[in-house]
């Protein structure tokens, strides 16, 4: 049976270098592909989400998937297993470091952006400014301050607003522009004009004006048939006595060879401004101008044409600012391309702007295209104050695009911190190697599967929750397997799911006799019947339910099994070590409680907390029925219960004080920073449910009082359940009808 691994190929934030197997945790700096779509007060929204829980959730889910895959692998496929194990080590390193970075990530990202890199900041000046505009190291910015009278101190802003009030924007007619250009060009040719010259002139003019290559030698509507003078004359009815003019042929060629070409014509973004309201149009033109000038600045910076801040230069010169405004007004009135006119302006003033060379047509086209794309992306932004723009001219830098965000590598943020160990140094070197600016959204190369027989699969699965990780096809095959049904039954017993186990026996009584390999919540792996496990765990509520459904031969067999347990113990494997005991032993928990109580006044706050966590560590080993006693809602541990109730509510939720939520204890989830025995232990005493709390220090002795009460209750529970075992054995004895002989009470 082919079973796909559960390690996700498209996890959030995680990229795996297929060459080195190094995991890169990519921290989103701002949402967007090449330009940030969050700005002003939302500038840090993406990184805030990352560090305030999203990253840890993703990392823990990834860790869980890796651990499950390693269980499926067992000792097979050494190369694949080693690769997954190495990834698990890296994930653990990220899990350990992320909480610490939560406190310093904003400063770390800001420090990274302060140095020259491939993520540029620009700051504009809209009419209504958002004062929450935390720009770092801008490559282009406009003065946003006012003088004492409230007049803006930005020469560029003032010049634009003065010039754009009431500006006239000529309607764009690219077809007329083309036809006029073709007519003017043909007028310079030797007369009379032949048909092929018209075709060539049309193609050349399209390329020159619009950057488009158009084929005027084939019919785009009729199977790319050849187009020549004869075919046009025939289709349009032109004859020697009524010949067509050059204008006629130009119009015919456009209709036959490029009828829909006008939808592809790139037009200047400046003509898209809303002209219905003068104030609104003025604001749109001002912001668009500032945005385009910033793109010219960025292009010059990333191509080593200039290192100057063009916004600062323009703000310091009324003449240059007024010239920019005049160029735009003139171009808009004439229907000219504003972007090209502005690039010409910079070539006129190369010395003022520190240009090492003039902008050539390739520069102009690149600036226009990038400006148009980015403007379309941010046009609906509620604030037009500041933006971050990714360098698209080089792959070198600290920032990349990944999963629709501009990101940096986690290892880059830990530089010079106490977190910067060898693993992160290796990740940083790997990240700084030549790479694409766009990091793949998926890790397709890790997708793999394993061939396992059902028996092998069942022997490598810990619990029914893990079975849910398997793909639907595998689960369908499992559900049709008697071995799988047997495993589910045994897991129900080990996990305290008494009602589920009862229903399974009623449907298939043979399950009572099934022996199988299964693992309880504490990681102990047994190979026995369900009744043997329940007897070993002293889960007498479960044992009584099972006994009630047994026939006499089954009881006789179980009697033999538990007698063997009482003589030799029951074997199990935990953390790779084979152990054997007659019953679960509560003494380690009681000893940890007693140690806390005895040494309480001799320890400081930190030592008392560590002692309390040792209580939590011992509680990890508790069979489910003991946790059910901690968590049952109908009585507390104060006063000490009799533990003689006829039923046991199979509840294992507790109240997590740190997070103020009800939480399930099982299956146990433990990491380097959280979990039972890491940052909390269970206490019950007088409370209505179990509490998950850490220890108080010497100033508050509540934990001391609680553990005294809890220890008394746990000790009494152990005594009651030990006595119950004697009655359980009596219940398995055969019924002898002879008077006074072997009657089962």
Q: Is residue 480 part of a domain?
A: yes
- The rounded distance, in Å, linking the Cα atoms of 54 and 50 is 5
- Mark whether 58 and 124 lie in a shared domain: no
- Mark whether 51 and 81 lie in a shared domain: yes
- Mark whether 181 and 129 lie in a shared domain: no
Residue 670 dihedral angles phi and psi, to the nearest 5°: -130, 130
- Mark whether 227 and 185 lie in a shared domain: yes
Domain C-terminal end among 367, 390, 413: 390
- Mark whether 602 and 720 lie in a shared domain: yes
Q: Residue 164: pLDDT above 70? A: yes
Q: What is the pLDDT of residue 742?
A: 45
Mean pLDDT for the chain overall: 89
Residue ranges in 569-682 assigned as alpha helix (H): 587-599, 605-619, 624-631
- Mark whether 538 and 610 lie in a shared domain: no
Q: Residue 741: pLDDT above 50? A: no
Q: Is residue 737 part of a domain?
A: no
- Mark whether 34 and 157 lie in a shared domain: no
Q: What is the pLDDT of residue 2?
A: 87
Domain C-terminal end among 248, 264, 280: 264
Q: What is the pLDDT of residue 745?
A: 41
3-class secondary-structure state, position 399:
strand
Q: What is the pLDDT of residue 274?
A: 65
Q: Is residue 608 part of a domain?
A: yes
The encoded tokens of residue 268 equal 């200047």
Q: Is residue 743 part of a domain?
A: no
Q: Residue 146: pLDDT above 50? A: yes
Q: What is the pLDDT of residue 198?
A: 92
Q: What is the pLDDT of residue 75?
A: 80
- Mark whether 275 and 141 lie in a shared domain: yes
The count of structural domains within the chain is 5
Q: Is residue 490 part of a domain?
A: yes
> 701-732: per-residue pLDDT in tens?
778 889 999 999 999 999 999 999 999 999 99
Domain range holding 86? 2-115+395-446
- Mark whether 533 and 470 lie in a shared domain: yes
* Rounded-to-10 torsion of CA 196, 201, 203, 206: -160
Confidence tier at 695 by pLDDT (50, 70, 90): low
**Average of pLDDT values for 608-614?**
92
Confidence tier at 698 by pLDDT (50, 70, 90): very low
Task: Please answer whether residues 531 and 570 qualify as being in contact, where contact means their C-beta atoms are separated by less than 8 angstroms.
Answer: no
> 218-237: per-residue pLDDT in tens?
887 767 788 899 888 888 88
- Mark whether 249 and 379 lie in a shared domain: no
**Average of pLDDT values for 82-91?**
95
Asked which of 198-207, 359-368, 464-473, 567-576 is least confident by mean pLDDT, the reply is: 464-473
- Mark whether 362 and 414 lie in a shared domain: no
In percent, the amount of the chain with pLDDT more than 70 equals 95
The encoded tokens of residue 644 equal 């003689």
Q: Is residue 738 part of a domain?
A: no
Domain C-terminal end among 242, 264, 286: 264
**Average of pLDDT values for 520-526?**
93
Q: The sheet that has 516-519: what strands, in order across it?
A: 516-519, 524-528, 570-574, 577-581
- Mark whether 527 and 653 lie in a shared domain: no
Tell me the DSSP string of 200-213. HHHHHHHHHHH---
Confidence tier at 191 by pLDDT (50, 70, 90): confident
> 349-399: per-residue pLDDT in tens?
999 999 999 999 999 999 998 998 999 899 888 899 999 999 877 777 889
**Average of pLDDT values for 311-334?**
94
Q: What is the pLDDT of residue 723?
A: 96
Q: What is the pLDDT of residue 737?
A: 57
Q: What is the pLDDT of residue 463?
A: 61
């Amino acid at each position: 049976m082919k079973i796909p691994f559960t390690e996700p190929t498209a996890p959030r934030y995680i990229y795996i270098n297929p060459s080195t197997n190094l995991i890169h945790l990519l921290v989103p700096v701002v949402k967007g592909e090449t330009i940030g779509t969050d700005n002003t007060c939302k500038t840090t929204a993406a990184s805030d989400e990352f560090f305030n829980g999203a990253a840890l959730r993703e990392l823990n889910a990834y860790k869980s998937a890796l651990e499950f895959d390693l269980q499926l692998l067992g000792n097979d496929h050494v190369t694949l297993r080693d690769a997954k194990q190495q990834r698990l080590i890296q994930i653990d390193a990220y899990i350990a470091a992320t909480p610490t970075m939560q406190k310093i990530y904003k400063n770390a990202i800001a420090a990274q952006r302060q140095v020259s890199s491939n993520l540029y900041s620009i700051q504009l000046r809209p009419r209504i400014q958002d004062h929450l505009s935390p720009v770092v190291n801008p490559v282009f910015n406009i003065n946003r301050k006012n003088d004492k009278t409230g007049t803006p101190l930005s020469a560029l802003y003032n010049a634009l607003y003065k010039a754009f009030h009431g500006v006239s924007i000529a309607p764009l007619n690219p077809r007329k522009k083309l036809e006029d250009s073709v007519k003017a060009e043909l007028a310079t040719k030797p007369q009379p004009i032949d048909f092929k010259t018209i075709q060539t002139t049309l193609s050349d003019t399209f390329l020159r004006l619009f950057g488009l290559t158009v084929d005027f030698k084939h019919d785009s509507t009729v199977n790319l048939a050849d187009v020549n003078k004869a075919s046009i004359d025939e289709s349009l009815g032109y004859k020697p006595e009524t010949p067509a003019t050059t204008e006629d042929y130009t119009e015919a060629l456009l209709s036959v060879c490029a009828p829909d070409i006008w939808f592809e014509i790139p037009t200047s973004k400046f003509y898209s401004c809303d002209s219905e309201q003068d104030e609104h149009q003025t604001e749109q033109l001002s912001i668009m101008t500032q945005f385009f000038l910033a793109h010219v600045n960025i292009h010059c910076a990333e191509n080593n044409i200039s290192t100057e801040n063009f916004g600062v230069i323009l703000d310091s010169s009324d003449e240059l600012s007024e010239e920019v405004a005049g160029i735009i007004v003139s171009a808009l009135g004439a229907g000219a391309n504003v972007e090209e006119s502005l690039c010409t302006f910079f070539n006129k003033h190369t010395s003022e702007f520190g240009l090492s060379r003039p902008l050539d047509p390739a520069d102009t086209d690149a600036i226009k295209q990038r400006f148009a794309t980015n403007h379309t992306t941010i046009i609906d932004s509620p604030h037009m104050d500041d933006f971050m723009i990714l360098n698209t001219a080089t792959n070198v830098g600290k920032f990349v695009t990944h999963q629709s965000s501009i990101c940096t590598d986690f290892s880059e943020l830990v530089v010079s911190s106490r977190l910067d160990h060898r693993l992160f140094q290796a990740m940083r070197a790997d990240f700084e190697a030549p790479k694409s600016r766009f990091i793949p959204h998926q890790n397709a190369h890790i997708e793999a599967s394993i061939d396992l027989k059902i028996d092998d699969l069942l022997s490598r699965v810990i619990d029914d929750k893990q079975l849910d990780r398997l793909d639907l096809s595998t689960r369908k095959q499992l559900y049709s397997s008697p071995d799988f049904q047997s495993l589910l039954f045994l897991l129900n017993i080990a996990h305290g799911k008494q009602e589920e186990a009862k229903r399974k026996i009623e449907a298939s009584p043979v399950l009572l006799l099934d022996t199988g390999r299964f693992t309880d919540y504490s990681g102990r792996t047994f190979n026995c019947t369900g009744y043997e496990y329940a007897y070993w765990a002293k889960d007498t509520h479960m044992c009584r339910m099972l006994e009630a459904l047994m026939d006499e031969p089954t009881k006789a067999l179980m009697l033999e099994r538990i007698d063997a347990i009482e003589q030799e113990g029951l074997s199990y494997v935990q953390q790779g070590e084979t152990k054997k005991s007659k019953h679960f032993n509560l003494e380690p928990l009681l000893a940890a409680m007693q140690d806390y109580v005895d040494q309480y006044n001799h320890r400081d706050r930190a030592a008392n907390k560590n002692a309390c966590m040792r209580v939590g560590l011992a509680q990890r080993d508790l069979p489910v029925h003991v946790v059910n006693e901690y968590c049952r809602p109908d009585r507390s541990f104060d006063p000490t219960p009799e533990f003689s109730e006829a039923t046991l509510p199979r509840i294992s939720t507790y109240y997590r004080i740190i997070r103020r939520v009800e939480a399930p204890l099982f299956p146990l989830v433990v990491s380097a920073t959280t979990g039972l025995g890491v940052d909390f232990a269970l206490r019950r005493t007088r409370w209505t449910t179990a509490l998950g709390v850490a220890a108080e220090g010497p100033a508050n002795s509540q934990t001391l009082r609680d553990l005294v009460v809890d220890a008394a209750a746990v000790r009494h529970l152990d005594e009651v359940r030990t006595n119950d075992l004697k009655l359980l054995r009596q219940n398995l004895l055969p019924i002898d009808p002879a008077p006074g002989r072997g009657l089962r009470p």
